[in-house]
Structure formats: structure tokens, C-alpha cells
Amino acid sequence: MLFEGLDLVSALATLAACLVSVTLLLAVSQQLWQLRWAATRDKKTGHWLLQVFSKIFSHEALESYLPKIQLVIQDTLRAWSSHPEAINVYQEAQKLTFRMAIRVLLGFSIPEEDLGHLFEVYQQFVDNVFSLPVDLPFSGYRRGIQARQILQKGLEKAIREKLQCTQGKDYSDALDLLIESSKEHGKEMTMQELKDGTLELIFAAYATTASASTSLIMQLLKHPTVLEKLRDELRAHGILHSGGCPCEGTLRLDTLSGLRYLDCVIKEVMRLFTPISGGYRTVLQTFELDGFQIPKGWSVMYSIRDTHDTAPVFKDVNVFDPDRFSQARSEDKDGRFHYLPFGGGVRTCLGKHLAKLFLKVLAVELASTSRFELATRTFPRITLVPVLHPVDGLSVKFFGLDSNQNKILPETEAMLSATV
């Protein structure tokens, strides 16, 4: 008995030690990841970067990206629909956001084949970002560094080609604005800074937006009535025409901001399925929280997910209910810090308007041009690491709009529950 008891104690001690090591490991790698941002940001650079980003994501800039984003999404949905098998939505969403970042944000005209290769290398880089800095052959760190070098080479080639070929461009992309702004501030960027900047932009946009896109598709599949209500709204605004594909490349920001229900759907996806769990901060001044003193200099983590789960303003927190954000209910309006999918304060997400725009266009295009159904018997489990996503990636068969082609037929409840 005593022996069994001791065995249990040592097993528990081992388990506790393992948990501590895993926690430490995660903390260290998160810290390393965080350092990537911090390293590029002293106070002066931070201020300048904020100014540049406010240009890159200004209303005017977003309006000019919009048609390109719509085209990239339309092309992608066409490819998904013509694929004979079900597709892995999370994987494909990653490719889509990568393509959006490369083609729209950075304005690179890389041939499709090279883009595919660059994406594979990029994935190798991302897969190894959370690794300890142990530079041994076959270590994650070494693989990550190698991938980063290949990527930087590819990016340098694309940047050089872009700098040489400025003719025939009808809009300024984020990279153009970054280069222009640096010149205006008497701070011509070196090639290394340009490569780092572009890589950081892709990195920030890629996994988060892919996660949110996948969650959006999963929720539209799970809640056909939400999708139908969305289609009603598009019809009411003349976006979803009965006689053909909606407005190729002609969506406007004003039109999108008039779609209130669409806004509620995106907000609810971001509340219940926030891609990033939280963020880190350094305590600048000792303060007290719930009777505990938090000393100056400590690193603290705020949790977006726990905030959304426990915020008293949200009724039935676990229910997917876009109408909670409707004008009539406005559950998020009470209090500033109950709803923060994009973080908060001075380090809030700089690309949030672009991310929301992307998700809205994706929802509009899905609702108007696609029918899609789950290819597995049940919906997959969700994992939270490194960003929230379904464990199997979400297997879905896309059909496009069937039938008398380009016509959305009225669907019965029975059809809705099977296919959306």
C-alpha cells in the first residue's frame, strides 16, 4: 500500500515536473517569438511604423486593395469548386492568405509555380518559429533559419523586380507605401529592412487570417440559417443577383459597411473563435489587481479567449449568435475591454481593418457563389495551438453555384441542413 502510495506520489511529481517544463518551454518560445516584434521596435521606429501602418491600412488604401482581394478570393473559390475531392479548408485558407499578402499587400507578380514553392518554404519557416534556439543539424531552429534564408532570397528577387518595374501600376500597395514613407521621413530603407518588413507583414497576416477564415466557413456550415440570412441581406442590397455572378471586382467599402448582418457574423466568429489566445506586456508601474501586487518589470500575459469567455456582457457565451452584435442588442457596447479579438492598447493589431475586410469579402463570395458541404460525418475538434484551427483542418466539398448556372435557387430546410 505504502509502495503504491509512493508510486502515485512520484508519478504525480513527474507529471508536475513535465507540466512545469512544458510551460517553461512554451513561455520561452513565446518570448522568443515576441522578441521578433520587440527587436524591430524602439520608441522612435515604433512611432514611424505606426504612421506608415496608418497609411497602409487607411480607408483610401483599403479601397484600392479591395478589387484585388475580391479577385484573389474569387479565383480561389473557383479552384476549390472545380476540385473533384473535398479540400482541407485550413490548409487552403493558409495558401489563400499567403497569396493575398504576396499579390495584394506586397504587389509581387511572382509566377504561380514559384509562389507555390515559396509557400512551402514559408510553411517550414512558420512551423519552426516556436523552437528553442538550439542550432544543431535537423533541429527546428536550424530548419527555421534555413527556410528564412531561402525566403529572404526569394523576397529580395521580388523586391528588386518590383523596384525596377513601376510602370502600368494602378494602385499603391503596402510595400510601395512603406518605401515612400521611409523616403519622406528621410530614412531610406535598406534591402535587409525591406525584406524583414515584408516577412513580418506576411507573418502577421497569414496564420491569424487563415484561422479566422476557416472558423467562418465552419460556422456557416454549422448554421445554415445564418448563411441564408446573409444571402437575404446580400439580395436586399443588390449584391446577390439572380441572373449571374455578383460584381466581379466591383465591391466597394461603402457597400460592405452597409451590410450590418455581415458585420455581426464576422464579429461573432472573432468572439467565439479568436485566432490568438492573448498577448504579452511588460509592467511599467507596480499595480494591484484583485488584492495581488504585480511588480514593475514583470512580464504579464492577458488572455483574449478568457476575456471573451467570462465577460459578463455576453449572454450565453458559448452560443454562436451573430445577432448579439445587432443594433438592437449591441452586447459589446458596455465596457471597452470585453471584446478584443485584435488585442488592445498601443500594441493593438495594426492590420485589423484589412483582416476584417478580407473576411467580409470571403463571406460575400461564399454566400453568393458557392455551395459547400462537410465531407466528414461530424465536425472536427478545435485545437488552440499555435492559432485556433480544426484538428483535421476541416474537410469540405465545394460545388460552386450549381444549376442553371449562377442562380441561387430557393432552398428548403431539408436541403439547407445537408448542404449550404
Return residues touching ligand HEM (CB under 6 A). Answer: 37, 201, 204-205, 208-209, 212, 275-276, 279, 341-343, 347-351, 354-355
Annotated binding site for heme: 349
- Of 49 and 226, nearer to ligand HEM (C-beta) is 49
Where does residue 343 fall: left (phi above 0), alpha (psi -120 to 50 degrees), or beta otherwise?
left
Annotated binding site: 349
- Of 348 and 403, nearer to ligand HEM (C-beta) is 348
**Rounded least distance, CB 47 to ligand HEM, Å:** 11
- Of 98 and 372, nearer to ligand HEM (C-beta) is 98
- Of 57 and 140, nearer to ligand HEM (C-beta) is 57
**Rounded least distance, CB 61 to ligand HEM, Å:** 11
- Of 232 and 306, nearer to ligand HEM (C-beta) is 306
Distance from C-alpha of 71 to C-alpha of 78, rounded to nearest angstrom: 10
- Of 93 and 374, nearer to ligand HEM (C-beta) is 93
Which residue is closest to ligand HEM by CB? 351
Q: Tell how far CA 334 is from the center of its chain.
A: 26
Distance from C-alpha of 203 to C-alpha of 205, rounded to nearest angstrom: 6
Distance from C-alpha of 35 to C-alpha of 168, rounded to nearest angstrom: 39
**Rounded least distance, CB 3 to ligand HEM, Å:** 50
- Of 240 and 388, nearer to ligand HEM (C-beta) is 388
**Rounded least distance, CB 201 to ligand HEM, Å:** 5
**Rounded least distance, CB 304 to ligand HEM, Å:** 6
**Rounded least distance, CB 412 to ligand HEM, Å:** 34
- Of 282 and 403, nearer to ligand HEM (C-beta) is 282
| All three cell numbers of 56 | 497602409
- Of 92 and 371, nearer to ligand HEM (C-beta) is 92
Q: Are 341 and 307 in contact (CB under 8 A)?
A: no
**Rounded least distance, CB 248 to ligand HEM, Å:** 23
**Rounded least distance, CB 151 to ligand HEM, Å:** 16
∠ CA 147-278-341, nearest 5°, is 100
**Rounded least distance, CB 206 to ligand HEM, Å:** 8
